[in-house]
Structure 1
Amino acid sequence: MTPSDPSPDGTGFSLGRRGGWPVVTVTGEVDFSNADVLGDRLAEATRWHTPPHLAVDLSELEFCDSSGLRRLVIAWKRIKDLGGRMVLLNPAPRMAGLLHITGLDTQLEILDALPDRPPPSP
Structure 2
Amino acid sequence: MSSEAYRKSALSVTSGLSRNAVIIRLEGELDVNAVSVLREHLRPVWELPPQPFLILDLGEVQFCDSMGMNELIGVMQRCEARGTRLLLGGVHGVMARVLSITGLRHAFEVFAQFDDALRLTVAAP
- 2:91 matched to 1:91? yes
> Structure 1 or 2: larger helix share?
2
Q: Which residue of 1 aligns with 2:122?
A: 117
Structure 1 residue 119: Cα displacement: 5.8
How many matched pairs? 113
User: 1-side partners of 2:123 and 2:42: how far apart?
Assistant: 17
3-state SS in 2 of match to 1:41:
helix
Q: Give, in whole Å, the separation in 2 of the partners of 1:70 and 1:87.
A: 16
Query: Equivalent residue for 2:4?
Result: none
Q: Post-superposition shift, 1:18?
A: 3.3
Q: Which residue of 2 aligns with 1:77?
A: 77
Aligned with 2:91: secondary structure? coil
Instruction: State how far apart, in whole Å, the 2-side matches of 1:77 and 1:8 are.
Output: 24
Runs of at least 5 residues in structure 1 that lack an aligned partner in the other structure: 1-6
CA RMSD in angstroms, aligned pairs only: 2.3
* Paired position in structure 2 for 1:4: none
Retained in 1: the 8 A contact 2:20–2:52? Answer: no
The answer to whether the 8 A contact 1:53-1:118 is kept is no
In the alignment, what sits opposite 1:3?
A: none
For the Cα contact (< 8 Å) 1:46–1:54, is it kept in 2? no
Q: Give TM-score scaled by structure 2 length.
A: 0.77
TM-score using structure 1 length: 0.79
**Moved runs in structure 1, 4+ residues, more than 6 A?**
none
Change (3 A) 1:43 1:70: farther
In the superposition, relative to structure 1, how do residues 88 and 119 fare at CA in structure 2: closer, same or farther (>3 Å)? same
CA distance in 2, matches of 1:86, 1:110: 9
Q: Percent identity?
A: 28
1:52 Cα deviation after fit: 5.3
**Unpaired segments ≥5 residues, structure 2:** 1-7
